[in-house]
Chains A and B, each alone.
Chain A
Amino acid sequence: MAPTGAGKTLAGFLPSLTALAARPASAKPRGLHTLYVSPLKALAVDIARNLDAPIAEMGLAVRVETRTGDTPSHKRTRQIARPPDILLTTPEQLALLIAHREAADLFAGLSCVVLDELHALVTSKRGDLLSLALARLHRLSPGLTAIGLSATVREPDELRRYLVPQRIPSPPEEAEGGPAMAELVVVKGGAAPDLHMLETGLTLPLAGHTAWQAMPAIYDLIGQHRTVLVFVNTRLQAEYTFQELWRINDANYPIALHHGSLDATQRRRVEAAMAAGQLRAIVCTATLDLGIDWGDVDLVVNIGAPKGASRIMQRIGRANHRMDEPSKAYLVPANRFEMLECQAALDAVEAAAQDTPDARLGAPDVLAQHVLGMACADAFDAVQLYEEIVSAAPYATLSWEDFEAVVDYVATGGYALRAYERFAKILRGPDGLWRVRDARIAQQYRMNVGTIVESAKVKVRLARGVRGKPGAILPKGGRVLGEIEEDFADTLTPGDTFLFAGEVLRFEGLSEDEALATRAGPGTDPAIPSYAGAKFPISTFLAARVRALIADPFEWDRLPRQVSDYLLQQRTRSVLPGPTGLLVETFPRALRYYLTAFPFEGRLAHQTLGMLLTRRLERARMRPLGFAANDYGIAIWLNRDVGEQIGREPDFLEALFAEDMLGDDLEAWLDESAMMKRTFRQCAVIAGLIERRYPGQAKTGRQVTISTDLVYDVLRKHQPDHLLLRAARQDAATGLLDVKRLGMMLRRIQGRIIHKALDRVSPLSVSVMLEIGRERVYGEGADEILAEAEAQLLEEALA
């Protein structure tokens, strides 16, 4: 474990290079000695390049090769027949390798496996997949040394367990001598970062995420540095920032844009230009979070809320990749609340506090994929495979019954109605071993490997106008700008304007599987506010620091004046939220009644809370109309005076926020929720229930493909405890719906709810009220949309 920039990657190879150098030249045949796994294919390629130099300098006869999705098939075949000494690859490629029929021979002599950026891998399903592969490697080569390379994390012991086989019995804590753990090497220090909040002297708004006030100051910083990385939290912010910087770019600095929706070739071009030192600034999202040494970055600017202490430290580490010099960075708040969050992050960085997420419980859908892979490699004995799997830390607590259910799922779908016995994918022979049915199933497995499920995308193509015919377009011929999610494209109607690839585009229509767009005229504002992009919620740790900061006026002198003034106003007009309890405000406004609450648990948990509260308020006949949420709080608007109701019925509020909302209400809502359906789809793809759609693959008509939504509806009605539904619920708890965090909050606030009945909106409530209209109104059902469309027809008929 070492701070960013300490050079840990090359250190990880040192034992291998030493061993390989000491090897007598006659030692033949030579098998694979060291395996290196990185989360990014580009990183593997990068490391291979960086290894070549020292190997050549030392004059070692060591062969280093990469194996990624781009490796040609003849090279893949050769790599199995005559393996290199060191192979650099990704978790997905490793999964394919261990499912290969030759896997046992290939890995029998493996001495060392190096897992890079382990802190980033273990927080996702890719980490589950990798842990299972690692368990297999430990079995194939019992003397194997596993080395994990990680940035500083909160709980290093979790990573230490991940690297070595866990002892039976599980849970590992009950094993004699505690859980098995790898040795820990900590590289201390690194110069403290030179980190500041960007002060523009301007008054910031109470909401909004564009940080438009800061653009001239950021532009000045670009002028004063060699290469600046400008991090933002969403693709929309990236688009906006890029456009604003170019608007004031009088000096014509080369400023580029980099985010996940852009065309891959364009992204590669930006990366190459950055490596060659040709760019002064790159506006980017999390796509550049991981440690590739592209270019000579001397300043990091982070626009918007930092969201997490560890996250911001890793971003800061992208500047000045040398350990002995401080990394220089600015945090740029976009609104007054973000100033609070920035101050909390500054404090956390100074205290070197970490808030990396907890270790994961291994996902059943990933396990299903792995079990099929193991059947492809060789016949397996269920008991032996179970013992191997529970030696992987994320699966250490897996019960035999749950494992059997996974095997049953892989074999015949795991249905109570045993309809598919005769089509079984894996079969148990008379010798008790399980084997894959045929080569076609093995091929299906190979096509489906991996845990990253991209949402369906459509290309955005620039359409050409027809000369002399305003409004008419030629369907083909323009260039492809990138891709947008199909779900987003679905909501566009011709004439809608949106920001994409640094320009305001006008949506013209869909043609086959492409969205056609033209450039909107100058000065056009994008009408469609957002498209799906990663929105990380504020970490629990940082939220607690923000709450503590607000609750303690003695701390306020460290805050910018406009923030302390704002908090002072809140204290005068209402009260300040405490460090642990929950503040609820109610007030009337413009013929409606509002209820606001400030749990500070992040947007995802608040959206879930909003859905559940509106359901309850509806049952209490308070006639809620909708709600809005941000990272800090929620606002619900109603037709009835909820404040008066709370005054009359003292227990109303405690009952409203009672923990039992996570029971039936949650279940009922979850089952209908679009996010749950999306989560289910991901599990279904990973577990191989439905096949992946590959980009470029011909899109078959919708009437012949199976919609996962339909499958979901049927399954939850007829077998609600099915493996994949359990997998989806497990994901929902920590993922898109953040139910776990919501549950912790509800427990925390019990008996600590403070209600303030106000006659007008408080300063704190204004911030969340301003979110209204920016987000979808979740109360709006499908039938309201349809009714509105129907009314249009009626109007036409009567006109």
Chain B
Amino acid sequence: MALGQRLEKTIRAPGLTLAGEALALDLCGGLWLAQHRTLVVSDLHLEKGSAFAARSGQFLPPYDTRETLACLHEVIVRLDPACVVALGDSFHDSRGPERMEPGDRAMVAALQEGRDWVWIAGNHDHAVSEGVGGRYAETLTVGALTLRHEPTVDAPEGEVSGHLHPCGKVAMRGRAVRRRCFVTDGRRLIMPAFGAYAGGLNVRNAAFEPLFPAGFTAHLLGDGRVFAIGKAMLSKD
């Protein structure tokens, strides 16, 4: 695969940086730090389907884990990262790894083969790391960036986080489009959820306000590319 083709799913907006680090936002919802050959994905929520079955007797299709892993496989093959960071809530609950199908477990192992793999601690899956390979960390520093699950209000410049599952809505001429998105104000970046069954929280929700006191730009994942959309053009739910 030619390099141009490999990167066509990521935007390479020249100005998009955080604490001096160049960011590439991939259409799959991953963050590509080319200089460090590091791929960051957030909120995989693996085994969410089986968590519902175990807890409430709702039998959602049990294919969310393999679907999420297939998307992850696609981007990993395309970018060939030296390091993959899962930014917390990688499993929907702490018993998720136990319920994982052997085939899916093997898929995780295959993805980890030959690269560094870091599970960042989330609020759903504090104690994950047993039996699913990789290493485990509360936070991680990559160049000038700090990677952690939950955004912190008074973080210094360069925080990359997830947790909130940001989603942007554009309403126009009697149509509404709601998509997962990256959110940034140039000081911090909040990642979209990557998991197949992960829901979304509208970026105009009050939860985002203290994090972006001076406004933000949302980068919505469209069908064919990523779209940079100003706060003013985004609707509330």
Contacts and interface: CB of A to CB of B under 8 A. Distances in A.
A529 interface: yes
List the 3 closest A-B pairs by CB distance, nearest first: A413-B59, A419-B62, A718-B63
Given A423-B54, A529-B174, A789-B227, 18 more contacts: A413-B60, A415-B61, A417-B62, A417-B63, A490-B169, A493-B172, A703-B193, A703-B201, A710-B197, A713-B196, A714-B63, A715-B61, A783-B222, A785-B177, A786-B170, A788-B172, A790-B228, A793-B233
Interface string A765-799: 00000000000100011110111111011001000
Contacts of B199: 701-707, 710
A528 B62 contact: no
Contact of B172 (A413, A441, A785): A785
B111 interface: no
B229 A528 contact: no
A782 B62 contact: no
Given A714-B197, A718-B67, A413 B223 contact: no
Contacts of A690: 58, 60
Interface in A517-540: 528-529
A790 B179 CA distance: 14
Nearest to A708: B60
A420 interface: yes
A781 B193 CA distance: 23
Contacts of B223: 781-783
Contacts of B217: 793
Contacts, number: 150
B224 A719 contact: no
A789 B63 contact: no
A510 interface: yes
Given A703-B201, A718-B66, A425 B171 contact: no
A199 interface: no
Contacts of A492: 171
A420 B179 CA distance: 31
A711 interface: yes
A74 interface: no
B113 interface: no
B61 A702 contact: no
A722 B177 contact: no
Contacts of A704: 199
Contacts of A783: 222-225, 227
B235 interface: yes
Contact of B229 (A412, A423, A789): A789
A689 interface: yes
A711 B61 contact: yes
A491 B227 CA distance: 19
Interface residues of B, number: 53
Given A423-B59, A783-B222, A711 B227 contact: no
Contacts of A441: 57
A792 B59 contact: no
A717 interface: yes
A156 interface: no
A510 B237 contact: yes
B229 to A, nearest CB: 5
B165 interface: yes
Interface string A482-516: 00000000111100000000000000011000000
A444 interface: yes
A528 B174 CA distance: 7
B202 A702 contact: yes
Contact of B101 (A419, A691, A713, A790): A419
Most buried by B among A419, A701, A711: A419
B10 interface: no
A440 interface: yes
B159 interface: no
A794 to B, nearest CB: 8
B200 interface: yes
Contacts of A444: 57
Contacts of A715: 61, 63
A440 B227 contact: no
B53 A719 contact: no
Interface in A684-728: 689-691, 701-707, 710-711, 713-715, 717-719, 722
A713 B217 CA distance: 28
Contacts of B108: none
Interface string B142-179: 00000000000000000000001101011110111111
A413 to B, nearest CB: 3
B198 A689 contact: no
Interface string B184-214: 0000000001001111111000000000000
B50 interface: yes
7 contacts: A420-B50, A423-B54, A714-B67, A719-B63, A782-B223, A783-B225, A796-B230
Nearest to A797: B230
B197 A785 contact: no
A717 B63 contact: yes
A790 B202 contact: no
A722 B61 contact: yes
A714 B61 contact: yes
B30 to A, nearest CB: 18
- Max chain A Cβ within 10 angstroms of own Cβ: one of B169, B176, B236: B176
A420 B177 CA distance: 34
Given A691-B58, A701-B201, A706-B199, A776 B175 contact: yes
Contacts of B66: 718
Contact of B222 (A509, A719, A786): A786
Contacts of B234: 789
A437 B62 CA distance: 20
Contacts of A789: 170, 172, 227, 229, 233-234
Nearest to B170: A789
A520 B217 CA distance: 33
A510 B236 contact: yes
B95 to A, nearest CB: 13
